[in-house]
Structure 1
Amino acid sequence: MGFLDILLGRTKPTAPDLDQLFALPSAAITLEAAVGFTPTGHGAVCFATVEGGAFAQTHREVQALLDADSDREGPPVELRRDDYGYSWLISQRTPDQLSALVNDLHAVNSAMEINGFGPQLLCSVAGFVDPGGRRLGLVYLYKRGTWYPFAPVPGRRERRDNPLELQIKAALGDDLRIEQDLSRWFPIWGAPGL
Structure 2
Amino acid sequence: MGFFDALFGRTKIPEGKTDQLFALSTALLDIQTRLSSTFAGKAAIILRTVDNSSYDALERDVQQILTLGGKDMPVTAEHIDDNQGYRWIIFTGKDPEDVINALHLTADMLKEAGYGDSLLAAMFAFDPPWYLIYTYRRAAFYPFVPKLSHTRDSAREFRIAQTLKPYMPIEKDPERWYALWDPPF
Measure how far apart 1:62 and its partner are. Answer: 1.1
Structure-1 residue corresponding to 2:32: 32
Contact 1:31–1:37 under 8 Å retained in 2: yes
RMSD: 1.8
* Alpha-carbon contact 2:16-2:116 (below 8 Å) kept: no
Greater helix fraction, Structure 1 or Structure 2: 2
Deviation at 1:173, TM superposition (A): 0.4
Aligned equivalents of 2:14, 2:80: Cα separation in 1: 28
Distance, in Å, in 2 between the alignment partners of 1:137 and 1:126 is 5
Kindly indicate whether the alpha-carbon contact (under 8 Å) linking 1:49 and 1:86 is maintained by their aligned counterparts in 2. yes
2: CA distance between counterparts of 1:145 and 1:164?
22
What TM-score, normalized to structure 1?
A: 0.83
**d(CA) in 1 for partners of 2:136, 2:55:** 18
- With 98-107 and 14-23 compared, the bigger mean Cα shift is at 14-23
1:17-57 deviations in Å (ceiling 9; x for gaps): 32211111221211111120110110100000010111101
Determine if the alignment matches structure 1 residue 57 to structure 2 residue 57: yes
Pair 106,120 (structure 1): closer, same or farther in 2 beyond 3 Å: same
Q: How far apart, CA to CA, are the structure 2 residues paired with 1:73 and 1:17? A: 25
> Given that residues 123 and 139 in structure 1 are in contact (C-alpha distance below 8 angstroms), is that contact kept between their aligned partners in structure 2?
yes
Q: Distance in 1 between matches of 2:14 and 2:35?
A: 30
- Rounded Cα–Cα distance in structure 2 between residues aligned with 1:122 and 1:19: 14
- AA at the equivalent of 2:156: L
**1:157 aligned partner:** 149
Matches within 5 A, 1:76-115: 76-94=76-94, 97-115=95-113
Distance in 1 between residues matched to 2:104 and 2:127, nearest whole Å: 22
| Contact 2:15-2:116 within 8 A present in 1 as well | no
Give the total of aligned pairs: 173
Q: Which residue of 2 aligns with 1:138?
A: 132
CA contact (8 A) 1:49 1:87 kept: yes
For 2:17, the equivalent position in structure 1 comes to 17
In structure 2, stretches of 5+ residues that fail to align are 1-12
Q: 1:122 to 1:70 in 2, by over 3 A?
A: same
CA distance in structure 2 between the aligned counterparts of 1:49 and 1:142, rounded to whole angstroms:
16
Amino acid at match of 1:110: D
Relative to the length of structure 2, the TM-score reads: 0.87
State the shift of 1:15 in Å: 6.8
Partner SS for 2:137: coil
CA contact 1:14–1:144 (8 Å) conserved in 2: no
User: How much does 1:14 deviate?
Assistant: 7.9
